[in-house]
Amino acid sequence: MIRVRSKVVLLVAPHVVGLEVLPNNKVFKHISTTAAIFPVIHDIKPNLLILDYDYLVQDIEKILRRISSNPAYRNIKICCYKNKWHSKIDPFLKTLGVDHIFYAEDMKQEASRKTAFEAIGDVIMDGTFFNLLKPVH
Name the residue type at position 90. Answer: D
Average pLDDT over residues 47-58: 92
Residue 21 lies in a domain: yes
Distance CA 3, CA 58 (A): 27
CATH number at residue 64: 3.40.50.2300
pLDDT band per the 50, 70, 90 thresholds, residue 85: confident
Residue 71 lies in a domain: yes
100-120 burial, b at 16+ Cβ within 10 Å, e below that, comes to ebbbeebbeeeeeeeeeeeee
Give the number of domains in the chain. Answer: 1
Judge whether residue 22 has pLDDT over 80.
Answer: no
Residue 132 lies in a domain: no
> Does the pTM exceed 0.85?
no
Higher pLDDT, 131 or 9: 9
Predicted local distance difference test score (pLDDT) of residue 93: 94
- DSSP annotation string for 13-80: SSS--SEEE-TT-SEEEEE--GGGHHHHHHHH--SEEEEEHHHHTTTHHHHHHHHHH-GGGTT-EEEE
Q: Tens digit of pLDDT for each residue in 88-109?
A: 999 999 999 999 998 887 766 5
Distance CA 9, CA 122 (A): 35
How far does the chain reach from its first CA to its final CA, in angstroms? 48
Given a contact cutoff of 8 angstroms between Cβ atoms, the answer to whether 8 and 45 are in contact is: yes
Q: What is the domain extent for residue 113?
A: 8-126
